[in-house]
Amino acid sequence: MARTLFHTSLIYRTTTEHKRDVAEFCGNVELCRLTEQVVFSDPYKLSQYNRWTSPYLDQDAEAIRDDNTLKLEVAGLKSMFCERAQALIHGDLHTGSVMVTQDSTQVIDPEFAFYGPMGFDIGAFIGNLILAFYAQDGHANQANSRKKYKEWILKTIEETWVLFYKKFTALWDEHKNGHGEAYLPEIYNNPELQLLVQKKFMTDLLHDTLGFGAAKMIRRIVGVAHVEDFESIADAAKRAKCERQALEMAKLLVKERRKFQSISEVVMAIVMRNF
């Protein structure tokens, strides 16, 4: 993620290279439209494609459709998705697109790729991990039997962002005298400013990540396509309880994402809303 997003962004590239590739990926309009619909539209209106754990979540789904503050924020995220050519993103980077063994990590299904906001990829991955966290209580055969696994998921959420941060800013430092056009060395290469610029960029990116990640969490609970983490909880009442916690966390993240200054604050908030 760090390598692809960095090397296709204007931190690394010239605007000539950037505009050429943006134009090329504008052709991938149909799959972008599918994402626009299932992530940013369907969950917020009555749609034949939506489903949820009924009747338990009927009121929760209705509350989503009636939440003006949430819908205002989602409109902003949708516009960013449609307008902002920040880097070449995978476009569907949920955990199911990542294949791992002890020795290797491979990402599949690149057909949604286009120039969009970086936070959409990072958020997709982290959003799925948060869903997995809230699903565990539905699978525990006795209280706390999934405690270790839940801790591992939280650690993975934190490490995903921390490692991305480290690798992305390391690439930035390495290429700070390169031909990237967003921050020209003659203007931005003084140590104090470099730090300010990176901190602002990465904080904005964390907020985008949380917004997009949370929007994708919402659509996995009240939209067309769900996640196996919840689907495999046979007891519907139990499943709904888990899903409701995830949904509440997602709404908070969309609305209040700009208040989080670090990923550990996010992890803390996730734990505090699990009971």
Minimum CB–partner distance for residue 106 and a copy of itself (Å)? 29
Tell me whether residue 23 or residue 225 sits nearer to a copy of itself (CB atom).
23
- CA 113/CA 146 separation, integer angstroms: 35
Give 136 or 198: the residue with its C-beta nearer to a copy of itself.
198
Nearest CB to a copy of itself, comparing residues 171 and 227:
171
Element of type H or E holding 256: helix 236-256
Task: Report the alpha-carbon distance of residue 80 to residue 139 in Å, rounded.
Answer: 36
Whole-angstrom distance, CA of residue 214 vs CA of residue 211: 5
Burial 153-166 (b: 16+ CB within 10 A, else e): bbeebbebbeebbe
Token pair belonging to 243: 């899903």
Structure tokens at 247: 């949904």
CB of 18 to a copy of itself, least distance (A): 7
Nearest distance from C-beta of residue 241 to a copy of itself, angstroms: 28
The vertex-108 CA angle with 107 and 109, nearest 5°, equals 135
Quote the least distance from Cβ 217 to a copy of itself, whole Å: 18
Element (H, E) at 23: helix 15-25
Token readout for 164 is 């991305």
Residue 210 beta carbon to a copy of itself: minimum distance, rounded to whole angstroms: 19
Instruction: Yes or no: say if 95 and 131 are a contact pair by the CB < 8 Å rule.
Output: no
Q: Which is nearer to a copy of itself, 149 or 183 (CB)?
A: 183
Residues that bind a copy of itself (CB under 8 A): 10, 15-16, 18-20, 22-24, 26-27, 29, 32-33, 36, 41, 44-46, 65, 68, 71-72, 75-76, 78-79, 82-86, 181-184, 186-188, 190, 192-193, 196-197, 200
Kindly tell me which of 138 and 180 has the beta carbon lying closer to a copy of itself.
180
State the minimum distance, in angstroms, from the CB of residue 63 to a copy of itself.
14
Q: CA 57: distance to chain centroid? A: 23
Q: Which is nearer to a copy of itself, 56 or 188 (CB)?
A: 188
Q: Of the two residues 33 and 166, which places its CB atom closer to a copy of itself in the complex?
A: 33
| Greatest Cα-to-Cα distance within the chain, rounded to the nearest angstrom | 62
In the bound complex, what is the minimum distance in angstroms from residue 248's beta carbon to a copy of itself? 21
Angle between helices 191-222 and 236-256 (to 10 degrees): 150
Least distance in angstroms from the C-beta of 29 to a copy of itself: 5
Three-state DSSP class for 55?
Answer: coil
Cβ contact 32:207 at 8 Å: no
Q: Using the minimum distance from each CB to a copy of itself, give the nearer residue, 72 or 268.
A: 72
Task: Report the chain's C-alpha Rg in angstroms.
Answer: 19
